[in-house]
Amino acid sequence: MRLVLLGAPGSGKGTQATRLREHLQVPHISTGELLRAAVAAGTPLGLKAKAVMEAGSLVSDDIVLGMLEERLTAGDTGNGFVLDGYPRNLAQANALDALLTRLGQPVDIAVQLDVDTELLVSRLAGRAQAEGRVDDSPETVRNRQKVYNEATAPVVDFYRNSGRLACVDGVGSVDEVFRRILATLAPTPDIG
Ligand code: ADP
């Protein structure tokens, strides 16, 4: 199963991606985590990405695509993957389709976690206290939500228009939301 998880910052993508990784036995690929690892390691890519991430803006498409291609060709995605944090704009969505077509591994489904903006902001405020991620400060959170609404929301339509979108209500306990996601993945029984 090759699955893309979509949702605003704070929608619970990372948490659900971890559950899905265990359930589906496929790698969880988070571009945010790959970038944070590059920043922590002080690689040239990480040095370029650091300030952009701290401002809550998008790292350039070519940097993230190169990093993602390297990860998708690491040899462990034969049974699929859960992709979290990518694509974040239409250019990335098109680039991902082109890359995965070339690799013979097209996306099966994009699952969108739907959560009201007010709730997103309060969840991220809680996470800022618990985890201390530098991009969870109030100003950066506002910019990340703005970037999501302007650049990433059209990606939902991209998958809807190609018949690959499943929308899931992201409000509820982690277990409840996970069950809803699994329900959208269950094969529809043949009729007749
Ligand atoms: P969240 O979804 O909560 O914003 P992420 O861990 O997915 O958290 O991303 C953190 C930051 O990493 C983003 O605000 C952005 O700066 C950068 N980033 C992650 N994925 C991408 C991407 N696909 N394209 C550009 N920048 C990205």
Atom of ligand 1 nearest to the CA of 55: 16
Burial class of 57 by CB neighbour count within 10 A (0 to 12, 13 to 18, 19+): middle
Q: How far is CA 23 from the centre of its chain?
A: 17
User: Within 13 Å, how many C-alpha atoms sit on residue 166's CB side?
Assistant: 19
Work out whether strand 109-114 and strand 81-84 pair parallel, antiparallel, or are unpaired: unpaired
Q: How far is CA 190 from the centre of its chain?
A: 31
- Residues with C-beta less than 6 Å from any ligand 1 atom: 9, 31-32, 35, 52-53, 56-59, 64, 85-86, 88, 92, 135, 144
Determine the Cα–Cα distance for residues 181 and 177; give it in Å rounded to an integer. 6
Angle at the Cα of 77 from the Cα atoms of 1 and 178, rounded to 5 degrees = 40
Q: Where are the beta strands (DSSP E) in 18-155?
A: 28-30, 81-84, 109-114
The predicted structure's pLDDT at residue 189: 62
How many angstroms separate the alpha carbon of residue 32 from the centre of ligand 1? 5
Verify whether residue 164 is a known catalytic residue.
Answer: no
How many angstroms separate the alpha carbon of residue 164 from the centre of ligand 1? 22
The predicted structure's pLDDT at residue 125: 85
Tokens 């991620």 correspond to 133
Domains by residue range for the chain, with CATH? 2-27+81-185 (3.40.50.300), 30-73 (no CATH)
How many angstroms separate the alpha carbon of residue 85 from the centre of ligand 1? 6
Verify whether residue 13 is a known catalytic residue.
Answer: yes
Residue whose C-alpha is closest to residue 77's, from 104, 113, 98: 104
Which helix (DSSP H) or strand (DSSP E) does residue 134 occupy?
none
Verify whether residue 179 is a known catalytic residue.
Answer: no
Give the single-character DSSP code of 151.
I
Residue whose C-alpha is closest to residue 69's, from 102, 27, 116, 117: 102
The predicted structure's pLDDT at residue 34: 97
**This model's pTM is above 0.95:** no
Verify whether residue 133 is a known catalytic residue.
Answer: yes
* Full pLDDT tens readout for the chain, 192 residues: 999 999 999 999 999 999 999 999 999 999 999 999 999 999 999 999 999 999 999 999 999 999 999 999 999 999 999 999 999 999 999 999 999 999 999 999 999 999 988 888 888 888 888 888 888 888 888 899 999 999 999 999 999 999 999 999 999 999 999 999 999 998 766 665
